Amino acid sequence: MRQTATTLPLLAMAMSITLPCSCAPGTIASDPLRIDSGLISGIPGRTPGIRVYAGIPFAAPPVGNLRWRPPQPVQPWQGVRNCSRFGPSCPQPKPLLGGDPGVESEDCLYLNVWTPAANETARLPVMVWIHGGGCTTGSGSQPYYNGEALAKQGVVLVTINYRLGPFGFLAHPLLSKESEHGVSGNYGFLDQIAALKWVQANIARFGGDPGCVTIFGESAGSASVCRLMISPLATGLFHRAIAESGGAGGRDRHLREPHRRQDSAEAVGEQIAAKLGCDKAADPLAALRAKTPEELLAASNPAQGLFGKGTKFGWVVDGWAIPDDPAALFAAGKQCAVPLITGSNADEGTVFLQQLPIQTVAGYRLTVRALFGARANELLNLFPANTNADVLPALNKLVAVTAFVHPARNLVRWMPRVGAKAYLYQFSCVPPMAGARGYGAFHSAEVPYVFGNLMPGSAARDADQALSRTMSAYWAHFARTGDPNAEGLPAWPAYEATSDQYMELGNQVRVMSGLYKQACDLLDGADVPVAAP
């Protein structure tokens, strides 16, 4: 993922996974494949039997007059489209500590497929990955999302792009006025829905089962999974869900009204239009659509991470795609009744702490009291800092629990209200590079283990290899059956509030209970000010 200043270098600089050359071995059925927009050809994977299709358009390029409109159908093409290269990433700010998003373009609505199927009749389970990045950065073609190893588990793996930042989540009264639904601002979210519709229409051609689709994602991708679970526009498009380090709560803007000390989404759009001088144009929308991507990024200054400065872009409660606050809809039992895996990492806070200037005990205590009010003293007792050296470790755990652990526990406690099973985990493995830098089991650390793309150092350790095999097997079996349990894997009980059990995924894979129970009980019903991206 690319949502933080730290996780990107840890992963991207350590990995160099690319698409294989067209001469690599492969045994899958021959191309071309016919999808609804035309014929495509892919390339063999490095593993015999895996075939890769990269850069498949699932919507028309959202450029020109289609900027800030819902995704439109792909224009059919003649001949065979070569799908051997990833599509461009959405334009985005430079990640805080480096990393290369590759080619960037507003023409970014592409997805990628890895399939082990020998023919169209295989009917394999399908997994659709939604990348993280705080709705501001990232893409589905990043090297640590390479789907070949996970596809070897017997699933068809899909990764998607969607519009980001001001391209995907800018609202404006005039944009709402031109919409047949009277709304604006959720274009990136609508892209995700369009990709799922593409899967329903086309994935059988790749040997996938459109009746067995799992959506999964991390951070902003995880929060997107939760919002897809409450969107009426996504009903029937998926059948299982996995939410890694991101929940239903958050600071979703409301379309027209200020909410939780945030300006409305339309007001933010008006502010950006004014910065660009478009508010005084005869046709403000035409003037906005004439601005270059660089001008839009400069004027909007998209925020990164939990505490980054700038404009926070993301989902909009618009009464249509997102009918109400997602957490409220989950609590009311209005989410999709699909099996769910969700959880968090032991050291979620470490990569965000560089965005906070807090270094002293006094500063820590003042901050906690300002953020948590009446609950501050109890939280300070649970996460104490008695010396300045204690401040960062205490902040790490406080952020991890308030922004990730507690939201995940909420999710698994809400799912029985719709009769669906849920499985809770915490990832506690510390990759060698992360341990050397003091990041611990950091935000996004589990992603290479799920995908089977371990970083150098981790790949050399037998324990990491074993954990990766176990996690990939859990995820794939869940995609197949709605239950992660399978022969040869440690038994993972479905969550029940009375036992409060979860699976620890670390140096040991074992069932534990009561993860930060005191803190989570304290936070129940609170308006938590720290919300995951």
Give catalytic residue positions. Answer: 219, 348, 443
Q: First and final CA of the chain: distance in angstroms?
A: 12
Q: How far is CA 499 from CA 493, 494, 502, 513, in A?
A: 10, 10, 9, 7
Tell me the two tokens of residue 259: 């909410």
Tell me the two tokens of residue 242: 């996995």
Rounded to the nearest 10 degrees, the angle between the axes of helix 265-275 and helix 293-300 is 120
| Spatial separation of the C-alpha atoms in residues 243 and 336, rounded to whole Å | 14
Helices (H) and strands (E) in the chain — how many of each? 18, 16
To which residue do tokens 């191309």 refer? 31
Tell me the two tokens of residue 419: 């009769």
| Spatial separation of the C-alpha atoms in residues 83 and 80, rounded to whole Å | 9
Question: Residues 476, 451: contact at Cβ < 8 Å?
Answer: no
| Spatial separation of the C-alpha atoms in residues 393 and 21, rounded to whole Å | 45
Per DSSP (E only), the strands in 271-414 are: 316-317, 340-345
DSSP 3-state of 54: strand
DSSP 3-state of 501: strand
- Maximum distance among all alpha carbons in the chain? 69
Q: Name the burial class of residue 282, with classes exposed (0-12), middle (13-18) and buried (19+) by CB atoms within 10 angstroms of its CB.
A: exposed
Question: Residues 203, 310: contact at Cβ < 8 Å?
Answer: no
- Which of 157, 139, 159, 160 has its CA nearest to residue 47? 157
Show Cβ contacts of residue 487 under 8 Å, excluding neighbours closer than 6 positions.
none
Question: Residues 213, 344: contact at Cβ < 8 Å?
Answer: no
**Three-point CA angle 331, 190, 1, nearest 5°:** 80
Question: Residues 240, 193: contact at Cβ < 8 Å?
Answer: no
Tell me the two tokens of residue 74: 């792909």
Residue 32, preceding bond cis, omega within 30 degrees? Answer: yes
Question: Residues 341, 472: contact at Cβ < 8 Å?
Answer: no
Show Cβ contacts of residue 26 under 8 Å, excluding neighbours closer than 6 positions.
43, 44, 45, 48, 49, 50, 51
Phi, psi at residue 53, to the nearest 5°? Answer: -125, 110
